[in-house]
Structure 1
Amino acid sequence: MKIVAVLGDFYHKESLLKNALSDAVREIEGIELVYASRLELVDKLREKPDLVIVASENRLDPERDPDKKWLTESVERQIIDYVKQGGNWFAWHSGLAGYEENKGYVSMLGGCFTHHPDDHLKVRYDYKNDHVLSHEKASFAIMDEHYFIERVEKNTYFLESLSTYGVSDAGWTRSYGKGKICCYIPAHNEEGLMNVSVQRDLSTVIRWFK
């Protein structure tokens, strides 16, 4: 299984995400993990990977040039075509952030990030429904950015987030054309990324795509 992973951005350290993903796939046989930048992704799509993981927001330099984004209309069309033809897409944490203007991409994902409180706080993640990704798993809590999500399509939910600021969707799957989609919200910092429940979820999601 060939996986192309696009990890990290201005606010999310690439090294932490790489470590978390590497640990999550360590015991999964037959994984070829290739890392790419956001601007390299289109070239990697031409190689028809089995799965693309994006944990990277849309803005390339949010502090100095917040209007400069990597997901152009052309790139968006190629991503949508890749999934429609049977490619698989895993949007992880910041992989849902900053894409609200990309209506086709957001529709493909089934939702997008809208905001989070400025402070990191205790967020509880509750599994829901009898989904293969939530079966017999216990709730967990970590210090995290509490992402709030806007739903735009009908999805199959397996995870919900809860904090003093409210409740939001935190994990779902859906079909899109011949491909499959998974969106997963945790986690921002190293402690959350290496949490045993987050690590287990990442492994379970990747096995679900195989």
Structure 2
Amino acid sequence: MKRIVTLIGDYYHPRERIQASLIRVLALLNEENERFEYVEIEPSQLKKELESQPDAVILFKEDRLNPNDEKVDTWMTEEMGEAIAQYVEQGGGWLAWHSGLASYSIEGSYTEMLKGYFEYHPAPHPQVKYTDVQRIDAFGPVSFEIRDEHYFVKVKEEETNIFLKSVSEEGNSIAGWFHHYGAGRVCCLTPAHNEEGLINEEFTLLLAKTVEWVSLKKINALN
């Protein structure tokens, strides 16, 4: 049984929407036989959970705890970032999903491990088309369109593998990338924000494939 630890939900992203997406993903992954289970934790529990060496961690939570307050508090300390990087380097798996890329220190160990970060998204939610990068045969052919927060990101393209791109009337961006980090695996995925996107069938299938990949223990590059 693969054990997945999840940290989900923040000020702008209701936990229930993300849970609905994960339930669909687990159903896909366990379709033939029950291989995956997940447990939901809070940031204060993460360091202890990492010590237990779960198969993977999914983060859909930004660093800011109270983004609209005058004094903004964050949860990702540098010590925590180093613990995450060490967990992955020693063979763990990490999926940074949507706001799991947002508002973290650009210079910190966590962002360095990801090889990229969220820069901004336009205020309106446009129709965004997501398609695979054909030269990277990673998670199968991908093509779907949803109304979404169109994330624009900064990625160290030479240090990772870009597998997904996005386009809307607002422009083009990278939407997914993956790489090995030491003995572990890291995948970053920018969709989705709205409820209909989170339970979109094509997106759910893609998400399931990324969860499965980060959960693998043996290094077996996909490119």
Q: TM-score, normalised by structure 2?
A: 0.89
Which deviates the most, 37-46 or 191-200? 37-46
* Residue 150 of structure 2 corresponds to residue 146 of structure 1: yes
2:123 to 97, 118, 121: 118
* One-letter code aligned to 1:27: L
8 A Cα contact 2:55 2:93, kept in partner = yes
Structure 2 CA distance for aligned equivalents of residues 128 and 100 of structure 1: 28
Question: How far 1:65 moved relative to its partner?
Answer: 5.2
Question: How far 1:40 moved relative to its partner?
Answer: 1.8
Superposition pairs of residues 87-102 of structure 1, within 5 angstroms: 87-102=92-107
* One-letter code aligned to 1:187: A
* Residue 26 of structure 2 corresponds to residue 21 of structure 1: no
Q: How many residues align?
A: 209
Q: Name the residue aligned to 1:184.
A: 189
Question: How far 1:131 moved relative to its partner?
Answer: 3.5
Question: How far 1:100 moved relative to its partner?
Answer: 3.6
Structure 1 CA distance for aligned equivalents of residues 120 and 69 of structure 2: 20
* One-letter code aligned to 1:14: R
* Residue 42 of structure 2 corresponds to residue 37 of structure 1: yes
Extract unaligned runs of 5+ from structure 2: 217-223
Structure 1 CA distance for aligned equivalents of residues 185 and 28 of structure 2: 22
* Residue 207 of structure 2 corresponds to residue 202 of structure 1: yes
Question: How far 1:138 moved relative to its partner?
Answer: 4.2
% of aligned pairs identical?
Answer: 39
Cα deviation code 1:60-102 (max 9, x no counterpart): 1111255311110111111111111111100000000001434
Q: Name the residue aligned to 2:63.
A: 58
2:193 counterpart SS class? coil
* 1:22/1:157 CA distance change after superposition, 3 Å: same
Q: Name the residue aligned to 1:48.
A: 53
* 1:79/1:111 CA distance change after superposition, 3 Å: same
- Larger strand percent: 1
8 A Cα contact 2:142 2:206, kept in partner = no
Question: How far 1:199 moved relative to its partner?
Answer: 0.4
RMSD: 1.4
Extract unaligned runs of 5+ from structure 1: none
Which deviates the most, 186-195 or 29-38? 29-38
Question: How far 1:103 moved relative to its partner?
Answer: 2.8
* One-letter code aligned to 2:116: G
